[in-house]
Structure 1
């Protein structure tokens, strides 16, 4: 399959939920912070591994060191809700994926959306298959592994999610459609529900964020069949994925706090690259009730896919930007200088 076709297929997969603001949110979108000076409200999609540096910074007191008081820390469930909260000013910073920032940029004035922090520069969703899966091993070609998923029941977090996007991309590459050539089962974001569905046979496979795959391998309920983060999907290598984003007005109003936030996140990211044993201890606190073997496996993975600084770099941004533009799913993505905070 030609490179252009592969890229076009991948970019379709990045059509994760568009930012659909309610009339109320859209109507009162002032982009002005509702929090007092010295306080940051930070909304994030979930407690996925991408947002581990925020936990580390809070746990180790780095935000406090910078004179920042954390206000509301809602887990909003989707990137669309994170963007809507930024629009209304109820949060100052949003932790999500780059697609969310692009969608917010499309619905805002030019230059208003800004990406502040780079959190993950690999796509951290895996395809995990259950014990009864009789398809090819993970050394088979990507096409062979994907074809083995046709007709299967595949668990995802929900419609429009990054988990659905990965399945859609893989199926597009082989001329199939995930929504018609497989059965997508919405499981929500709870790890216990996902692993339980795999164990019970409710689904044959999962498309889920880390560390679900590591947990399945640790307890023997399944194995990772396809992993973009380990390089299985070449066109996805090095694409900016997890980010913290906001609006120009919010960042201007909270410039001192934002500078402190970046400093705290940098310290946390450097910790992730530091003593593996200490990273393991923090990860155990963050991902409560995870299998110890899964945590052991996850530590080196995080060290590979997380940058050492939150500063937005042009190369991973441009890889992801090209994905979105070539697909036609985003009419026009901001130039690097237009979106970098």
Structure 2
């Protein structure tokens, strides 16, 4: 009986010791980060690579991703605290700054560096010319959003007045634009991938131009958060940026086919060859940023586009809403 009692005591001590080891280092503590992405698109391939390849987990982060369709909804979610980090156009941080926010939104890691939309025509154009858009019905994006501003900037560059030379439709929700075009609204539309390639496959439209190529380098889609979050979570923001940069390099070093296979779980209703085609398009026009650092020249181009659209009260210095420190540190880390 005494032997049995000692055996039970010994077993209890072993279990207690083992549990102590897990608590002291066997079980790595993770930090949860909630991301809200403005849309689901192959345009954000490095983000999905970071999730699927475990780059966030390697940094001790448990990332929860949700799609908050539209820049306005994404920013509302960030400001309300429903998400920790927003993946959205850099212009949204400028809008918050222009409103005199006490807790400004700070851009800390760039993901894409060109516009990600393509001009899709309902009819197959043998030899497309931008002048073809005159007197047409153009299904545009939300007023004040980066896709619409970059689109209008490109039209003006080609001598087309977006408000006077064509019928511009802007009253359709971002998430419903593709469906509206498919149902017969408009002769031209701006679409992200993979939707543009899907429409080509289905014969519903034809890609005739790239707004990414036309509008130049931009901090088009950026990870951003509130200044207060950065102040309290600097280590977390650094780890997050490290994972993103690792994913950016991975996409540049692997084939479109390999990237397509990796991100396929985020596009379950999309054929693999469509995903490959979309990745190729974005790689060929340099849409995926190779570094999370926001470049000053690209920032100036963003301000030019916003000014052209009449959405900028005054030019905003990058230092007001950009913190490149995390991105620069991530780039210095050898993969």
Query: TM (normalized to structure 1)?
Result: 0.74
Contact 1:217/1:294, CA 8 A, preserved across alignment: no
CA distance in 2, matches of 1:56, 1:318: 29
The aligned counterpart of 2:288 is 306
The secondary structure found in structure 2 opposite 1:114 is: strand
Residue 34 (structure 2) pairs with residue 55 (structure 1): no
CA distance in 1, matches of 2:217, 2:300: 10
CA distance in 2, matches of 1:206, 1:338: 34
Alignment of 1:102-121 (within 5 A): 102-109=94-101, 112-121=104-113
For each residue in 1:287-308, what CA deviation from the matched residue of structure 2 results, as whole angstroms up to 9, or x when unmatched?
2322444323222223221111
Alignment of 1:185-204 (within 5 A): 188-190=173-175, 194=178, 197-204=180-187
Contact 2:71/2:92, CA 8 A, preserved across alignment: yes
The aligned counterpart of 2:127 is 137
Q: Alpha-carbon deviation of 1:255?
A: 0.7
Query: TM (normalized to structure 2)?
Result: 0.75
Contact 1:167/1:178, CA 8 A, preserved across alignment: no
Residue 218 (structure 2) pairs with residue 225 (structure 1): no
Contact 1:155/1:205, CA 8 A, preserved across alignment: yes
Unaligned runs of 5+ in 1: 1-35
The aligned counterpart of 1:256 is 235
Residue 133 (structure 2) pairs with residue 146 (structure 1): yes
Q: Alpha-carbon deviation of 1:333?
A: 3.6
Q: Alpha-carbon deviation of 1:57?
A: 1.1
List structure 1 segments (4+ residues) > 6 angstroms apart after TM superposition: none
Contact 2:38/2:88, CA 8 A, preserved across alignment: yes
The aligned counterpart of 2:189 is 206
Unaligned runs of 5+ in 2: 1-28, 324-335
RMSD: 3.0
Aligned length: 291
Counterpart among 215, 223, 226 of residue 198 in structure 2: 215
Q: Alpha-carbon deviation of 1:239?
A: 1.9
The aligned counterpart of 2:254 is 275
CA distance in 1, matches of 2:172, 2:103: 36
Q: 1:200 to 1:337 in 2, by over 3 A?
A: closer
Q: Alpha-carbon deviation of 1:42?
A: 1.6
Contact 2:32/2:63, CA 8 A, preserved across alignment: yes
Q: 1:312 to 1:50 in 2, by over 3 A?
A: same
